[in-house]
Chain A
């Protein structure tokens, strides 16, 4: 890592309390961090920017003791230190508030704040004392929450405040916030920012990670940008603007392919009309009367932030979630009520976002995973034909260029990119007419990404209708003919492949570029 890009501490900045020097982290064959330097200053906010997979979360997990770095050092108050666990880090005053809140919803605010460090006496837990301390903490945060309320009865914003109160209750000096505003309303964000300013004035240092660039700029004192595991830029707030961040985040365009051309699109294959999906409680619309068409040979990309409703839309189209209203048609046949298996038989398949949870059966081999969606067609008489299955597996491996020693190895022996190709190959080999891919590039390195997009382009050329989602702007501008931006369950904009990154980000509510 070239350290010369990091300016020497500017004279007006305060002392450094925590820093990472040349920190690298390797997971299997994937290098998540490649020698990063990072400083946290007393009583100041440092914002960390980067696209998904840039290494932000990995870096924060290293700073908070969740992971150990593969190489490099962590320096706390000028002394090198190694954290054994997140508890150890917390005892040194470093707390992290994860994007997914880690509260027990069935327990009260008081019990959550004192979870694992209950005030014990001879007579059991001293609930009165816990409650008193809770009230003090919450009063400091100017949040009127009764410590005896159950967490599940609180709004998300309030739950966030409870997380912060918990972090403060252990006298944290450094607070890491991972996407704290992703679930908050505008007024709740205001409250959070007020709390952050309070914390700063009390000397607490904050590391702030957010996809909402403008919001982050409002509150931050320093900006650090990561890209592909490298730190690409560092500057104090005064020297930067939005464009600077976007430029360093996205970087020069890595070639992820271009939209396939030279053939006409066919008929509309996938037709979505005013589809609405609601959450489990039935109150909140995750997808809000959304309509779109995809034609044969066309590649459409849906861009949106977390919570925009992309995953819910695709799961609804694939039949996992029921649509409250609306109609889904494939080649003019109404499949709104069809089961997942019927949709696959009709030719509509989904490559899910989380391949570990939804895509692969870890107890099975590579080959068994590849043939799983197609077993019905491989049956001859009573049993599946071994010969047909083997041919099928070999075809799928060849087509999706999976690099595997043997299809009889367990699926876990493959790297992330190859596992993703197996999931794609499994669904693709059912001969679909339309393929949905939810974040097909998640958690795989850039080379594998390029191969995945090349596969999509090939498929489109052969007449497949392709719909994929992404949360990385760079990936919108790869093979997609058309880019749809989703925001809060609705389509907020639609572009051709000649659009700029800034306009896409503006439409997603991420940033307004003037």
Chain B
């Protein structure tokens, strides 16, 4: 019988293997993005121009912001189907507040300034998200079911508030002091659309939080092995509530950006966007069972989807074919994921 317990592995070999695996995960989304850019540049001279790249990026910003929240949830082993509806609802809430809130008993109409509208909208998104979090963390409702419920509730509230109509006039009025809502969607800083800057900032913040903070490590641990995390003193319920609240808040950010880009807010905005966000996260190499994934990968995933669908529009492929291509890319990504993680079941 062996009397010592020596791990028989060659350190350098193991190191190389891990690095190679990392390269494969992140490299394939990057590779796909390169292929897409090269292909469409050859197909259309307008594709690879600064102005088009910036326009496409401002589209990507919406998906990208949603996908960051989705990544946080997926890293804990959950899923958030409510982000599309929350995006729509956020626009409606903002629109509702911009139209002025009338207090009949006092006979006044209050026009909150844009910053207050923004804060209230974000708080509302975080609040709805934290309801999901409580359902998942304390009442043990599977996240799929909890967020499915919130998805319908949020969409329903959006339709109820507007009676199915769209808020068209989000520009505000000088007289009421609530102008500036279109700043998010239209303005540029140093030539770059504000929405893209917001995406970059959020990606940087959450990238660092996941990589460096204790909270980030708790997210990975919760998704990797919830029982072990609990026994190590990780506040698992707190982590759950936080990630759903953050996801709800990021969905609201995306909702604000979208309605600002359109200067209107419709109750059906963001319909099925949750699927695009999930696709971006998965293409970015995250594991749907939790514990694996990075913001960097997710961003690449969002750009793959955004650049692909815009490219198809530019070269004039029909919208029906766009759907088919997007679906094929998603399946391919998941296939690669299962090849990547399939053998590792320890």
B contact residues around A382 at 8 Å (CB): 213
**Which of B6, B221, B229, B231 is close to A320, meaning CB atoms less than 8 Å apart?**
B231
Q: How far is the CA of A81 from the CA of B208 in the complex (A)?
A: 58
Q: How far is the CA of A409 from the CA of B11 in the complex (A)?
A: 9
Task: Convert B195-228 into 0s and 1s, putting 1 for each residue whose CB lies closer than 8 angstroms to a CB of A.
Answer: 0000000000000100011100110110111011
**Which of A229, A386, A426, A445 is close to B5, meaning CB atoms less than 8 Å apart?**
A445
**Which of A228, A403, A412 is close to B344, meaning CB atoms less than 8 Å apart?**
A412
Q: Does A258 sit within 8 A of B, measured CB to CB?
A: no
| Residues from 290 to 324 in A contacting B, C-beta threshold 8 Å | 318, 320
A443 to chain B, nearest CB (A): 11
* With known contacts A228-B1, A382-B213, A412–B228 Cβ distance under 8 A: no
**Which of A345, A359, A384 is close to B212, meaning CB atoms less than 8 Å apart?**
A384
| Residues from 86 to 126 in B contacting A, C-beta threshold 8 Å | none
* With known contacts A359-B228, A361-B228, A361-B291, A34–B1 Cβ distance under 8 A: yes
Q: Does A203 sit within 8 A of B, measured CB to CB?
A: no
Q: Does B163 sit within 8 A of A, measured CB to CB?
A: no
Task: Convert A378-408 into 0s and 1s, putting 1 for each residue whose CB lies closer than 8 angstroms to a CB of B.
Answer: 1100111010000000000000000111101
Task: Report the nearest B residue to A29, measured CB to CB.
Answer: B8
| Residues from 281 to 301 in B contacting A, C-beta threshold 8 Å | 287, 290-292
Q: How far is the CA of A444 from the CA of B231 in the complex (A)?
A: 21
**Which of B2, B14, B227, B291 is close to A413, meaning CB atoms less than 8 Å apart?**
B14
Q: How far is the CA of A3 from the CA of B225 in the complex (A)?
A: 45
Q: How far is the CA of A157 from the CA of B235 in the complex (A)?
A: 40
Q: How far is the CA of A267 from the CA of B235 in the complex (A)?
A: 31
Interface size class of B (residues with CB under 8 A): 35 or more
* With known contacts A341-B234, A352-B231, A426-B232, A375–B218 Cβ distance under 8 A: yes
Contact A362 B227 (CB under 8 A): no
B contact residues around A451 at 8 Å (CB): 5
| Residues from 16 to 34 in A contacting B, C-beta threshold 8 Å | 29, 31, 34
Q: How far is the CA of A360 from the CA of B220 in the complex (A)?
A: 12
Q: Does A363 sit within 8 A of B, measured CB to CB?
A: yes
Contact A356 B233 (CB under 8 A): no
**Which of B5, B232, B292 is close to A373, meaning CB atoms less than 8 Å apart?**
B232
Contact A361 B2 (CB under 8 A): no
Interface size class of A (residues with CB under 8 A): 35 or more
* With known contacts A29-B7, A320-B231, A406-B15, A384–B2 Cβ distance under 8 A: no
Q: Does B50 sit within 8 A of A, measured CB to CB?
A: no
Q: Name which of A341, A344, A345, A426 has the most chain B CB atoms within 10 A of its CB.
A: A341
Q: Does B3 sit within 8 A of A, measured CB to CB?
A: yes
Contact A368 B15 (CB under 8 A): no
Q: How far is the CA of A207 from the CA of B220 in the complex (A)?
A: 45
B contact residues around A228 at 8 Å (CB): 1
Q: How far is the CA of A405 from the CA of B234 in the complex (A)?
A: 27
A contact residues around B292 at 8 Å (CB): 363
B contact residues around A340 at 8 Å (CB): 230-231, 233
B contact residues around A266 at 8 Å (CB): none
Q: Does A372 sit within 8 A of B, measured CB to CB?
A: yes
A19 to chain B, nearest CB (A): 24
A contact residues around B230 at 8 Å (CB): 320, 340
Q: Name which of B4, B223, B287 has the most chain A CB atoms within 10 A of its CB.
A: B4
Q: Does A182 sit within 8 A of B, measured CB to CB?
A: no
A372-B232, A412-B346 given. 13 additional CB < 8 A pairs? A29-B5, A341-B234, A357-B227, A361-B224, A362-B291, A363-B223, A368-B221, A372-B221, A376-B233, A382-B213, A415-B6, A430-B233, A446-B3
Identify the 3 closest CB pairs spanning chains A and B, nearest first. Answer: A405-B11, A417-B5, A363-B291
Q: What are 22 pairs between A and B in contact, CB < 8 Å?
A: A29-B2, A34-B1, A352-B231, A358-B228, A362-B225, A362-B346, A363-B223, A372-B228, A372-B229, A376-B233, A379-B213, A383-B214, A384-B212, A405-B15, A408-B15, A409-B11, A412-B346, A414-B7, A417-B5, A418-B7, A430-B233, A444-B5
**Taking beta carbons and an 8 Å cutoff, which residues of A are in contact with B?**
29, 31, 34, 228-229, 318, 320, 339-341, 344-345, 350, 352, 356-364, 368, 371-373, 375-376, 378-379, 382-384, 386, 403-406, 408-410, 412-418, 426-427, 430, 444-448, 451
